[in-house]
Structures are given as structure tokens and as C-alpha cells.
Structure 1
Amino acid sequence: MGVAVPFPETQPAGYEWFDDEPAFDPERHLQLEEPEEVVMLADLGYDPAEIATKATQVAASSPFRILSDEGATVMLGVARRLRSLARPAGNRIERMSRGGCYRSRWLRDLCTSPEVSDHLERIYGTAISPHPMPVHLGHINYEPSTIDTAVDKWHHDTLPLDYVMTVTDPALVPGGRFEYFLGTKHEAATLAAQDRTPPPGRTAVPEFGGPGYAIALHGDMVVHRAAPLAELTERISMVNGYIALDTSRDDQSRTADLIIVDDHESLWTEWAKTAAWRARGQLQSLIDELEFTSDRDAVIAALESAVGDVRRAIDEMRAGEKMTEHYGG
């Protein structure tokens, strides 16, 4: 497993570690299994030219097991403990918790586990790292307060890659199923412009085997949601983010959406480090690969491209708050 940016050794202001939880033990808490199938971006209708610039050609896997029974029990306990910190994510999610990896060492160690990262790396078919922004590690969604509201509306993610894990037992939850669109995000945007959402006939609804099962997702490219509940009950899922180590790939992030979502005590620094990491990789490629040329404009363009993530981060930080994007429903 590669590491883009190491997890911080210190915590942001206002965060304290839970002092009475078990230590994460991969031998006891993991039970990694293989997915039965993988859906590719091409299967959803994406063009080869667009696919070529992305982190992986994979769109989504079928559900597979990550946690053992004991691990699933600990995960549920951590999620319940973090519930008191839940808040909205714009107008997309009514109740969610982020930054939990600055509070729970168990959650941090699960979300940065090399065993899980290596497992997902084989599924994605590309070198990955746990996301360098810890706010993207261990994101937890909770049930809304009414049954006429989706747990999480149709959207594509603000990060490239992730897994979506059931924390509560889906067999005990009426409704609230994870669904994804069998089409592109461009098609979803067209539907949204017509005040429509992905139709049931073009929606996949994977069957999760229990708590601690997950689906590997190309989150930036696959439009998905957690549907409304049929009855009000506890419904919890966890999303853990990853990033391709190849910095020549598209950034595939909408970090500006997080300004109204995440704690600014951590967001700005995490964002800056991630942009700097991507720029460092692209600048190193320029050092290694730039040939002699009299084409000044080509050299300028290469430099601008190498620092593009940094310049965009600065511009978006200065621009300030924007509403989180989604496709409704």
C-alpha cells in the first residue's frame, strides 16, 4: 500500500481521542472477501477518452465482506458514539458525521488499514492510498428524521474512489437501500435539468450480506444514493475514501463543496496538503520528462498544468462557500 500523505500525528483543535475503545486488530476485525463481479465505466456508457484520464476503469463492485462479526460490532459502537456529532451536509444529507478518525483510533486504523487498501487496490486494478484528506476517511451517514427524505440524495462523490459499507444490518432496515445509476453522470445531469431522477429500470440495487459488507465505488463517476426508509429506524452506513497514486490522472475532487460541510479547523490544511501532494508528483514528472524545446508556450502550459491543483485550491478557498451538488431525490 502506498501513502499519499501520512495521517497527521496531531489532532485539530477541539478533537479528543476516545479513551475506552478496543485497539484495531486486523486478524480479529477483518474478514476480507472478494466481490463476485465488477462493473466497468464503459458498461455505464462512458467514452474511452474520458475513462483514460480517470483513476481506474472500474465503476463498482458487487458487495463483498470487509469486517468480521466482531469488527462489525465494534464499527456499530463507534458509529453510535459519533452520532451525537452528526450534522447536515448542505441540503444533500440530513445527518452525517465526519472527522471521526480524529476521535476514534479504531476507526482511523480501519480506514488507513494496509490490508483493506491492498484488497481494494486489487479490485480497482490501480495503485491507491487512503485519501490524504482525513475528513474523507470514515464518513458516516445516519437515517433522516422522516421517511419521505432520502438518506443521501442522488449524487456523485466529492472524491475519486471509496467503499460504501453497511454498518447496521440491512436485513433489519426497511428501505434505505444503496442504489446506483446504470448510466453516466452526464445523463444524470440531463435528467436533473428536467426535474427527473434516475428511473428504477436503470438503477442497480446491490444486496449486502450483512453489516460490515461494502461495495467498491468509483465515486466521482458513479451516480448513487441511499434511498428513503420505509419506516423510521436506525440506519447507518460508512464511506471511506481513497485516491489513485498516479498524479497524472484527473483530480476528480469537488473539495469546494466541503466548505459548508467540514470543520475548518482541519479542512484548509488537509486541502492544502492534498493539492501540494498532487502538484509535487506532477512537478516531478515534469523534471523527469520535459525535453529541450524552443516552444515557450508549451513549457508554460506544462508548468501551469503541474501546479493547476494548487492554483485551483487557492481560488476555491478564496471564493468561499457554495452549495453541495446533487441530482435530487
Structure 2
Amino acid sequence: MNFDKSCPVPIPPLLNDPEIELYTDEPVFDPDIHLSMTEPDFIVLRDGFQHVPKAPQLCQPVAANGDSQLAYTGPFRLLSDEGYRVLRMILEREMAHRQCDDRHPAMIRLSGYRSKWIQDFNRCPRILEHLSNLTGDIRLLPTTLQSSYSHVNIGYAGGPNIDSYHCDSVPYVLILLACDMTNTVGGELQLIERDPKDALNLIEQYKGQVPNEYIRTIDYLGQNSCVFMQGSRIVHRVKGIHSCTEPRITVVNSYMSTNPFAAESTRYDTFRHEKPAALEYTLHKTWRANAKILDLAVGGHGWPTNDQVIERLSMAIDELSQCRDILTNTTSDKIGYYDEKKQKMAYYDTPAVALKDTEN
């Protein structure tokens, strides 16, 4: 019994941390004002990483595991000039919340708890529809991990890689360039066009210095342009900056399939040191469990047999049991990243720390 795409799937709820106040001096997100969406000239498929001129249309419905053909897109625009101006205004204020960890020399998290504009930007139905069309066959929702709404990566001249080789801990990501890189040397987003296991083997074989013949460098259209990719299925990194006239800033929005039977690509371990992580991940697994039963109840299926009802109930129980086991460290969903200094895979063993204003 395949997932019925016409089944109404609830959008994950917004959380309110009583210790974090929403900004009150920002405009209301208005898609008529803040969006000016364009199409990429091409997309790249996971099968052989072949380039095609537009999103593929499948002759068969989505597979039960919810896989998409999409690897990544060419660059395109999402925000209007005014939307980009508002985003930059919010980012300037968010710089007070910069932090770093062993993987990221500078980043910003939890913007989705401080900004209503950021919340609406990540949850905008028009954007969801636009990005869904780019997958060719997958309907998308914002990630259940609100702390990952508009995650920000920041790179400064002379620093290490802005991000290490890794696969994302959320299924799909939209990466928006929020700076002018005209005079920047370095800072390239690079992908390895291989199955993740093969890509990691290459990284280990060459001790992080993978030859250019295996690497695809992603070009943007300049500031306020973006690319969309199935980041959980592609190993990628962002190189360090040799010189620049302003910091390299990217804003990363995260998405997932409405199909609760899609292979699980949302990870707890990557974010486990953050205060919201346990509740957000529990809501995620609860969402998957609920959506699996909801599909049986209101999808376009015939009346289910007792065995089918029990099967869905078992699926829901499995989701919640896995959540409990991960939260209690009985099992783990860690995927880690490649630490070029140590020349081996590393994991998120220590929490992020705040960056001081003098630290670039």
C-alpha cells in the first residue's frame, strides 16, 4: 500500500521558547513583496549525476521509500530585492548570536525562535510549492527542527574551511548566498558526485585532499541567489577563504518530504547539544508516526484490513521506540563529518560556544 500523495499531511507545529522573545521591529513576511522566484536553468539527477534542463516528471508514482531523483539544482532566485534587504537586516542583528563548534568556525542557530519573518520564510506555501516542483515528484514541508530554520554559515578570510565534508542531517536544503562574493578568493561550495559511501572512501583515501576531477564546484548567480539540493544524499563542503571584502554568508533552509514513509534522513545526534533538540526530534518522530496512520485513515485507499491497521500501528510504535532509544543513548543516528585536521571522521562530542565580537 503506497503513500497517497493526496492525503492531507499536517505541517509541523511552531514552538515557543519562553526564554526567547520574537523581534518586534521587523516587517511581516509578505510573499507578494518579498518573493521573486525564478527557475534554475538545469537540475542534476542522482542517477549518474546527469544534467537535465528541467525537473523530471516520473511516469510512476513516488516509491514507497519516498526517494527523489533530485541531486541538486542550478542557481536561481527566490527572494525579491526587498525580501533580500529584510533578510540582510535580520542577519545583521543575528550576528550577536554567532557561535562555533569543531565543524563550523562561525554559524548562527535558533533564528527560527527569534524572528517571525524567518519562521514565515521557511514555512511559506509558495516556496514549498516552488521547491516541490524542482524535485519533480516530492511534496515538501519545512523541517520539524525549528532550530534549523535559516541556519547561517559565516566565513572570514584566513580561516579554516567554512564547513567540512559531510552529508546533511536533514533531507533537503535550500542554500541562499547572502553576501557579495565578487572580490572573494575561496569559499566555494563543492560536491562529490558519488554515492555517499564512495565519496567518503575517496575523502579517506586522499586524506581530505580529493582531486579536482572528483569535485563539482557550485556556482551562484551572485548575492541573493540560491541552489537547492538533497543534501542528505550528497557529500559536500565549503572551502576556506583566502581573501574577501566582506564575510561569506549563506542562509540554509531545511525541508522534508510529506511522505512519512521516506527513508529517515533527519538526525538527532548532530543537534543533541542544543536545548530544543530533544523536543524537536520527538515532535519529528511523532509527526512521522501520526502521518503514517493518517494516510491509512484518510488516504485514497480501500477500507483497511485488520492486518493493515496493525501494520501501520506497528510502524508508528517503531518510530516512537526509535526516538526513545536515541534520546536515551540506547542507539545512535550519528553520521558525523570529516575532520581534515585529524584526517578522520569526527562527531559532535562537544557543544557549540558563543563567539565574541572580536572573533572573526
Superposition TM-score tier, normalisation by shorter sequence: 0.7 to 0.9
Q: Which residue of 2 aligns with 1:161?
A: 172
Q: Give 1:166 shift.
A: 0.4
Q: Which residue of 2 aligns with 1:223?
A: 235
Q: Which residue of 1 aligns with 2:201?
A: 190
Give the total of aligned pairs.
Answer: 314
Q: Is contact 1:72–1:211 with CA below 8 Å preserved after alignment?
A: no
Q: Give 1:304 shift.
A: 4.2
Post-superposition CA distance 1:188-225 (Å, at most 9, x none): 22124433354321222222112221111101101111
Label 1:286 to 1:118 Cα distance change in 2 as closer, same or farther (>3 A). Answer: closer
Matches within 5 A, 1:163-178: 163-178=174-189
Aligned AA (2:226): A
Aligned AA (1:11): N
Label 1:82 to 1:322 Cα distance change in 2 as closer, same or farther (>3 A). Answer: farther
3-state SS of the aligned residue for 1:142?
A: strand
Ranges in structure 2 where 5+ consecutive residues have no aligned partner: 1-5, 51-61, 341-360
Q: Which residue of 2 aligns with 1:77?
A: 89
CA distance in 2, matches of 1:317, 1:309: 12
Label 1:218 to 1:174 Cα distance change in 2 as closer, same or farther (>3 A). Answer: same
Q: Give 1:301 shift.
A: 7.2
Q: Is contact 1:258–1:324 with CA below 8 Å preserved after alignment?
A: no
Ranges in structure 1 where 5+ consecutive residues have no aligned partner: 46-50
Aligned AA (2:173): D
3-state SS of the aligned residue for 1:205?
A: strand
Identity in percent = 24
Label 1:198 to 1:285 Cα distance change in 2 as closer, same or farther (>3 A). Answer: farther
Q: Give 1:96 shift.
A: 1.2
Q: Is contact 1:251–1:309 with CA below 8 Å preserved after alignment?
A: no
CA distance in 2, matches of 1:323, 1:274: 16
Q: Is contact 2:175–2:228 with CA below 8 Å preserved after alignment?
A: yes
Post-superposition CA distance 1:16-48 (Å, at most 9, x none): 111211222212221100011111111249xxx
Are residues 1:179 and 2:184 paired?
A: no
Q: Give 1:91 shift.
A: 1.7
Q: Which residue of 2 aligns with 1:5?
A: 11
Post-superposition CA distance 1:172-195 (Å, at most 9, x none): 433212121111111122124433
Normalised to the residue count of structure 2, the TM-score between the two structures is 0.79
Q: Which residue of 2 aligns with 1:307?
A: 317
CA distance in 2, matches of 1:18, 1:292: 50
Q: Which residue of 1 aligns with 2:20?
A: 15
Normalised to the residue count of structure 1, the TM-score between the two structures is 0.86
3-state SS of the aligned residue for 2:131?
A: helix
Are residues 1:317 and 2:317 paired?
A: no
3-state SS of the aligned residue for 1:94?
A: coil
Label 1:170 to 1:4 Cα distance change in 2 as closer, same or farther (>3 A). Answer: farther
Are residues 1:150 and 2:156 paired?
A: no
Q: Is contact 2:326–2:333 with CA below 8 Å preserved after alignment?
A: no
Aligned AA (2:120): D
Q: Which residue of 1 aligns with 2:343?
A: none
